[in-house]
């Protein structure tokens, strides 16, 4: 009889160990899924911010060539707008006047992926 009781206790301990490993793996998978969802949400917000900033900057470009919106005042996304002359050359190798490159960069404050959009603007 004694050996059966010890064997049952040993089975319970092994079952608890297997259960603990399974729960730990599940918790790690859940954390990974939550991180991926958070990163996807931040990228979506950064893209929406880029579209909005690009539309606003096309109508009112930064006159000094650069404008920055800090992350703490912009929902945790740092936006940098740059406006510089584009060096587009014609067939005579002369730079076309009035062509400007507008670049908008959005970077989440917690270190996500940078999102960048560029567009050419004609301003005579």
The per-residue pLDDT for range 100-119, each reduced to its tens digit, is: 999 999 988 777 788 999 99
Query: Where is pLDDT greater, at 39 or 22?
Result: 22
Which domain range does residue 88 map to?
2-122
User: For the chain, how many structural domains are there in total?
Assistant: 1
Measured CA to CA in angstroms, residue 123 lies from 4, 54, 78, 92, 98 at distances of 89, 16, 27, 21, 5
**Looking at the whole model, is its pTM more than 0.75?**
no
Which contiguous run of DSSP H or E holds residue 74? none
């Amino acid at each position: 009889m004694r050996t059966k009781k010890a064997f049952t206790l040993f089975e319970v301990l092994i079952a608890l160990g297997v259960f603990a490993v399974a729960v730990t793996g599940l918790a790690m998978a859940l954390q990974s899924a939550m991180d991926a969802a958070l990163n996807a949400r931040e990228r979506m917000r950064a893209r929406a911010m880029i579209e909005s900033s690009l539309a606003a900057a096309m109508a009112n470009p930064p006159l000094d060539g650069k404008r920055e919106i800090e992350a703490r005042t912009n929902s945790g996304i740092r936006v940098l707008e740059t406006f510089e002359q584009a060096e587009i050359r014609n067939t005579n190798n002369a730079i076309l006047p009035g062509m400007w490159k507008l670049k908008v960069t959005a970077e989440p404050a917690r270190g996500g992926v940078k999102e960048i959009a560029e567009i050419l603007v004609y301003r005579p």
